[in-house]
Amino acid sequence: MNLQRLLQKHFGFSTFRKGQQEIINDVVQGKNVLAMLPTGTGKSICYQLPGYILPGIILVVSPLLSLMEDQVQQLKSNGEKRALALNSFLSLSERKTALSNLAQYKYIYVSPEILQHPIIQKKLRDAGVSLFVIDEAHCISQWGHEFRTDYLKLSGVREILGNPPCLALTATATEAVRKDILSQLQLDDAESHIYGIDRSNIAIKVEEHQSVEEKVTALLDYSSKLKGPGIVYFSSRVWAERMAALIEEQKVGRVAFYHAGMEMEDRLLIQKQFINDEIDLICSTNAFGMGINKPNVRYVIHFHFPGTIEAYLQEIGRAGRDGAESLAVLLYTKEDYQLPAMLMQQEVPEDKQVSGVLDYLFSMGGNQLTPEAEKSMIQAVGLSEVAWGFLAFHLGKRGVIMEDNFIKPFDLKSTFASLKGIIEERTRVKLNRLYEMNRWLEREGCRRQNYLGHFDQCLEETPEHCCDYCGITLSKYEKRDELNRTRLQEKFLWKKELTRLFHQSEEVGIEE
Amino acid sequence: MNYREALLLFCLNQINGQRTINGLYHLLQGKKSSQTIQDGKLFGVSFLFGTCKHINRKEFLETVTRLHNERFIIKKSEDTFLVSEPGVKIMEGILRKYPFPDHLDGWAYQSRADLFWKRLSLYVQSLSHLLKGDSNFLPVNREDNIQYWIKKNFPMEQNEREAWANNLYNEILSLLNDLTENESTLFTYRLSGFHRVGLTINQAAGRIGVDSDFANLLFKGILHYIMKRLQENEQKYPFLSVFVKDLEVLLPLTDSARKTFSMLGKNRTIKEIAGYRRLKESTIEDHIVEIAMNVPEFTIDSFVAPFEQEEILEISKQLRTKRLKPIKTALEDRLSYFQIRLVLVKEG
Ligand SMILES: [Zn+2]
C-alpha cells in the first residue's frame, strides 16, 4: 500500500510532516507505539490514516468531550461519515442505537470513563478493534492518579478487547511521564518515536510585574498593539469576561470571551467566529483551544499561568501552526504563584474527611455500599466527587472496596496511614510541577533552552527570534497598518443581511 | 442596577414572599413540576417559564444576595423575600424602559422554542453554505438528534434547495417585518450563513446596545411570536411550519388525544373526527378538554365564543363554584357541559 497516496486521497496533503510516516509504518505493522510530536503538527493523522488500511475499528480514548466532538466533526467535514463520539452525554436511546450498530463505524472516540462499562467493552470486542489509541496520553500520568482514575484501568480494558496494538500519543511528556505512560499501559515492548517538541517559530517573552493593575495595563497595551488573531488565557471565567470587556472598550479589534460556563451553542459560535477570522482576540480559560485547528494564531498571552510547564507549552503551541512567526507572552506577579497552589490544596481530601469515610466504611464491614449510602456518606463528610473517586480507587486497589461495592473488614489505622501517604505523595508531585513552572519563570538564561532541558532535550539551533533573554524585536509582531486599528464596521441592515444569508438578489429584499 | 436584578425583583414582587426563591429558580429554569407550573400561573410569571436557563444556580443566588445587601429585598424567612419600596421603584423604572416583550410566553412555547431554534439555525446555515457549493463547514449545532432531523428534511436537488431558500426567506422576512427594528436585527444577527458566523446573544446585545439578559428575553419572545404565528396560520407559512410540526409530540397528551389534536389542526370538526376515527363524539370532547388542559396556546374560541366564556366565568365566580350543574342551570341550559368544562379547565 502506498501511504503517500492515501494521505493525498483522504486528507489532501502531498507530504507527511516530521515523524508521521515512521509512526504510521509501525502502527500498520501491528507494533505498539509511543509517539511524542510537537503540538499542532497533525498527530491525529497517525491513527486516522491507518484506519484506511486496518480492517477493524480505530478506538480513540480521548480526555475531553469537546476534543472528541471536534475530531468527529472534522472527520465528517472531510467526508468520513463513519465517525462516532461515544460519551455519557448521548441520551440512552442514542447510545442504544449507536451501540447496536457499532461495527458500522470506523473511528470511535470514547472517554476512559465510558470505556469501563462492561456492555460497551463487550460490544467493542464483538465489533473488533484494530487499534487502541490513547490521545493526549500524558493525561494518564497527569490526571490518572488524581481524579480520572479510570485512566489507570486502560490496560485491563485493552486486554478484554483482545489486546489490539496500542498507539499512545502525546505532545508534551517528560521522560518520567513517558515511563509512567508505558508502565501504566503495560507497553514494555513499545517502539518510541520521540521528536523535538520545540516550536522554533514561537518567540517567548516572560514579564514580571509588581501588581495586578500593572498586569492589566500591560495586557491592554499588548492587545492594542499586537497583530492578531490572538488568545489570552485566564485562570477564571470572571477574569476572562472582565478583561474582554475592558479590551473591547479600547476599540482596537473584535474581542470575545470563552469559558466552560457558556452554553454549547455560544461556545460553538465563538469558536467558529475565531476560526473564520471574525474575531481578533479571545479571552479565555483553559477550556479553549484543545481540538481547535486554527493555523494563523499570531500570539498567545498568559495573564495567569498554568500549573505545569507541559500545560504551558500546549497552550502556547496553539500559536503559529502555519509555521509563520508568532509570539507568546506571559505576564506574572509574585503573588500569582499562590493561586494555583491554593487550588491544589483544595482538591485534595483533608485528614478529617479521610477518617470520616474510613469510619463509615469500617462500620459497614461485610456489607454492600449501596449508591444511596455512598451518596449520603459523601455529603456527610463534605467530600467532592472527584476526591471521593480518588479515595474509592485506592480503596479498591487495597481490596477494601470489593466487587459490587462490598466492603471487606479492614484495619483502620494502617489503611488511614496508607491513604494519607498516597495523598501526600500526589500533592507533593503536583506542587513540585508548579515549583518547576515557577522556577522556569524566574530562571536566568534562554527560555527555550530551559524548557527543553525540562524534557531532557537540547536546543539544536537558536532561532532568530528566540526569547526575551536572547532578544526579540517586539515591533515585528505588531500591527502594521493603522487602518486595521480603526476598522469601520459595515452598517448592519437586517433586510440586506437576510438576502445575503439566503442568497437572494438584493433588489428583492431592500425597499429603501 | 442591571436587567437581571430588575427581572428577579419583578418575580419576587409577584410571588410576594409566598414561595421560596428555590421555586422561582425552578420556574426560570423551566423545570416542569406541577408545583412550578401552578405557581407560575398563580403569580402571573408563567410567561418567564424556562426563559432563563443560562442563569446557573450560583449566579442566581449571587444576584439574590446582592439585592438583599442593597436592601432592595427584605428577608421574610430563611428563603423567602419581600421587595422593598425602593426595590419596587427602581424595578418599575427599568421595566418601563425595557418592558417584557409582548410575545414572550415561556409557559406556552419555551420547551419547543429551543428545538425550533436549533433546527432552524442549522438548516439555514446548511442551506446558505450548500447553495454556494461549500459542504465542508463546521455546523452550529452538533446534537445528533438535530443533525438527524436536518438530514431527514433537507432537499437533495439544487433547485429544491433554491426553492427552500426563497420560501424560507420570504416567510422569515414577512414575520420579521411585523417586529421592531431592534428585534428583527437581533434575530438576523443570530443566524449563521456562508458569509458570516452568527452572534451569541451576548454579542448581539452589544451590537444593538442593550443588556444581554434583556436581549435574551427579546430573542425568546421573537421565537415565541414566530411559533404562535405558525400555529395560527399554518397555510401562510408552509415552510417554517415544517420545523415545528412534529414538536407536538413533546406535549403531555395521551396518544389518542394527540391524534385528535393533529386533526383539529387541519380544521376538522368534532363530528368529522369522530366519524373518521370511529369514536364517540363525547370521546373526542374528552380529548379536547385534555388538550385545553395541557396545551396552553390551544384556543377554545371555536368551541365557545369569547363572550360566552366570560359569561361562564362570571357565573362561576358569582356562585363560587366550579361544579358544572349549577352553572349550566344558571345559564338556562344555553351552553353544554362540554363547553362549560372547557372554559373552566382553560382558566385553571
Ligand atoms: Zn532564547
User: What are A232-277's pLDDT values in tens digits?
Assistant: 999 989 999 999 999 998 888 899 999 988 988 999 999 999 999 9
Statement: residue B32 has pLDDT above 70: no
Q: Is the pLDDT reported for residue A147 higher than 70?
A: no
CB nearest A77 (choices: B136, B140, B168): B136
Å between B262 CA and nearest CA of chain A: 26
Burial B288-300 (b: 16+ CB within 10 A, else e): bbbbbbebbebeb
- Structure-block grid coordinates of residue A56: 477493524
The band of A143, judged by pLDDT with boundaries at 50, 70 and 90, is: low
Cβ atoms < 10 Å from Cβ of B135: 10
pLDDT at A334 over 80: yes
Determine, for residues A503 and B132 on separate chains, whether the beta-carbon distance falls below 8 Å.
yes
In a domain, A492, yes or no: no
Find the A453 Cα to ligand 1 centroid distance in Å: 13
Question: Angle formed by the axes of helices A309-316 and A447-454, to 10°?
Answer: 120
Q: Which of A147, A166, A194 is the last residue of a domain?
A: A194
Which of A56, A25, A321, A33 is closest to A169 using CA atoms?
Answer: A33
Q: Do A189 and A206 fall into the same domain?
A: no
Is A79 part of a structural domain of the chain?
yes
Question: Do residue B198 and residue A275 have CB atoms under 8 angstroms apart?
Answer: no
The full length of chain A comes to 512
The string of pLDDT tens digits covering residues A117-139 is 888 899 999 999 999 999 989 88
End-to-end Cα separation, chain B, in angstroms: 36
Name the residue facing A270 among B124, B141, B200 (closest C-beta).
B200
Contacts of A254 (CB under 8 A, 6+ apart): A278, A279, A280, A281
Chain B residues 288-347 with CB within 8 Å of chain A: none
pLDDT at B41: 65
Alpha helix ranges (H) inside A78-116: 92-100
Looking at CA atoms only, how far is residue A414 from chain B in angstroms? 40
- Give the number of other Cβ atoms within 10 Å of residue B210's Cβ: 18
Domain boundary among the residues A194, A213, A230 is at A194
DSSP secondary structure string for all residues of B11-24:
HHHHHTTSS-HHHH
A10 against A339, higher pLDDT: A10
Q: Determine the distance in angstroms separating the CA of A77 from the nearest CA of chain B, rounded to an integer.
A: 5
Reply yes or no on whether the pLDDT at A319 is more than 90.
yes
Taking CA B230 as the corner, what is the angle to CA B225 and CA B235, rounded to the nearest 5 degrees? 150
CA–CA dist A504, A511 (Å, integer) = 14
pLDDT at A461 over 80: yes
Q: How far is the CA of A467 from the centre of ligand 1 (A)?
A: 4
Say yes or no: A83 and A35 in one domain. Answer: yes
- Quick one: closest CA in B to A508, which residue? B170
Task: Please tell me whether residues A164 and A215 are part of one structural domain.
Answer: no
Shared-domain flag, residues A93 and A135: yes
Instruction: Supply the pLDDT for residue A71.
Output: 85
CB contact under 8 A, A275 and B139: no
Structural domain contains residue A122: yes
Chain A residue nearest residue B164, CA to CA: A502
Question: Same domain for A32 and A131?
Answer: yes
Q: Which residues of A touch B240 (CB under 8 A)?
A: none
Q: With 80 as the cut, is the pLDDT of residue B40 above it?
A: no
Please indicate whether, in this complex, the C-beta atoms of B166 and A502 are within 8 angstroms of each other.
Answer: yes
Per-residue pLDDT reduced to its tens digit, A341-396? 777 776 778 888 899 999 988 888 778 888 888 888 888 888 877 778 788 888 88
Q: Which of B139, B166, B193 sits opposite A501 (nearest CB)?
A: B193
The verdict on A104 touching B (C-beta cutoff 8 Å) is no
Are A157 and A265 found together in one domain?
no
Least confident among B159-163, B190-194, B240-244, B287-291: B287-291
In a domain, A85, yes or no: yes
Mark whether A8 and A157 lie in a shared domain. yes
Q: Specify whether the CB–CB gap between A322 and A40 falls below 8 A.
A: no
Asked if the structure places residue A334 within a domain, the reply is yes
Min mean pLDDT across B45-49, B57-61, B258-262 is at B258-262
Using the 3D structure, point to which of A167, A194, A221 is the last residue of a domain. A194
Q: Is residue A373 part of a domain?
A: no
A285 within a domain of the structure (yes/no): yes
Distance from CA of A64 to the nearest CA of B (A): 16
Indicate if A227 and A268 belong to the same structural domain: yes
Q: Are A398 and A418 in contact (CB under 8 A)?
A: yes
Q: Which of B91-100, B132-141, B239-248 has the highest mean pLDDT?
A: B91-100
Per-residue pLDDT, A54: 95
Q: Could you give the CA distance from residue B295 to residue B289 in angstroms, rounded to a whole number?
A: 10
Strand order in the sheet with A57-61: A83-86, A107-110, A57-61, A129-134, A166-170, A33-36, A191-194
For A201-242, the pLDDT digits (tens) are 999 999 999 999 999 999 999 999 999 899 999 998 999 999
Residue A171 has pLDDT above 60, yes or no: yes
Q: Is A52 exposed, middle or buried (0-12, 13-18, 19+ CB in 10 A)?
A: middle
The β-bridge relationship of strands A202-209 and A326-333 is parallel
B196 touches chain A (CB under 8 A): yes
Q: Which residue has the cell 485562570?
A: A235
Ligand 1 mean position to B308 CA, how many Å?
Answer: 86
Q: ipTM strictly over 0.85?
A: no
Same domain (yes/no): A122, A226: no
Which of A73, A248, A500 minimises the CB distance to B142?
A: A73
A262 part of a folded domain: yes
Share of chain B above pLDDT 90, in %: 52
Domain that holds residue A280: 202-340+475-482
Contact B60, B68 (CB under 8 A): no
Instruction: Give the pLDDT of residue A511.
Output: 42
Cis bond upstream, residue A229 (ω within 30) = yes
The CATH number for A27's domain is: 3.40.50.300
Which B residues, 132 through 151, put their C-beta within 8 Å of a C-beta on chain A? 132, 136-142, 144-145
A278-306: buried (b, 16+ CB within 10 Å) or exposed (e) per residue?
bbbbbbbbbbbbbbbebeebbbbbbbbbb
The pLDDT score that the predictor gives to residue A326 is 96
Look at A494 and B176 and tell me if their CB atoms are within 8 Å. yes
A-chain CB neighbours of B180 within 8 Å are none
Contact B194 A503 (CB under 8 A): yes
Q: Which of A77, A90, A502 sits opposite B128 (nearest CB)?
A: A502
CA of A469 to the centre of ligand 1 (A): 6
- CA–centroid distance, residue B292 to ligand 1 (Å): 74
- Judge: B169–A492 Cβ closer than 8 Å, yes or no: no
- Chain B residues with CB-CB distance to A497 below 8 A: 188-189, 196
Which alpha helices (DSSP H) does A254-336 contain, by range? 264-275, 309-316
Span B158-169, average pLDDT: 95
CB nearest to A69's CB, from B136, B142, B201: B142
| β-strand partners of A36 | A170, A194
Q: Are residues A49 and A66 in the same domain?
A: yes
Looking at chain A, which residue has its C-alpha nearest residue B185? A494
pLDDT digits (tens, 9 = 90+) for B264-290: 766 788 998 999 888 999 999 988 988
Q: Which residues of A touch B203 (CB under 8 A)?
A: 256
Please tell me the predicted confidence (pLDDT) of residue B222: 97
pLDDT tens digits, one per residue of A406-434? 888 888 899 999 999 988 888 888 888 88
> Average pLDDT over chain B, rounded to whole?
89
Which helix (H) or strand (E) segment is A204 a member of? strand A202-209
A494 touches chain B (CB under 8 A): yes
Based on the fold, state whether residues A116 and A38 are members of the same structural domain. yes
**Mean pLDDT across B95-122:** 92
- The top-scoring range by mean pLDDT among A170-174, A332-336, B217-221 is B217-221
Residue A291 has pLDDT above 80, yes or no: no
Contact A265 B166 (CB under 8 A): no
Judge contact between A308 and A437, C-beta under 8 A.
yes
Domain count of the fold of chain A: 2
Q: HSE on the CB side for B133, CA within 13 Å? A: 0
Going by pLDDT thresholds of 50, 70 and 90, the confidence category of residue A512 is very low
Backbone angles phi, psi at B285, to 5 degrees: -65, -40
Looking at the structure, do residues A185 and A113 belong to the same domain, yes or no? yes
Instruction: Tell me the nearest-neighbour CA distance from B56 into chain A, angstroms.
Output: 9
Q: What is the mean pLDDT of residues A291-312?
A: 90
Check residue B297 and give its pLDDT: 66
Q: Which residues of A touch B185 (CB under 8 A)?
A: 492, 494
Cβ distance of B197 and A272 shorter than 8 Å: yes
Please name the member of B137, B168, B184 whose beta carbon is closest to the beta carbon of A494: B184
A30-39, A200-209, B254-263: which is most confident? A200-209
Are the beta carbons of B169 and A504 separated by less than 8 Å?
yes
Average of per-residue pLDDT across A291-308: 90
Note the pLDDT of residue A338.
80
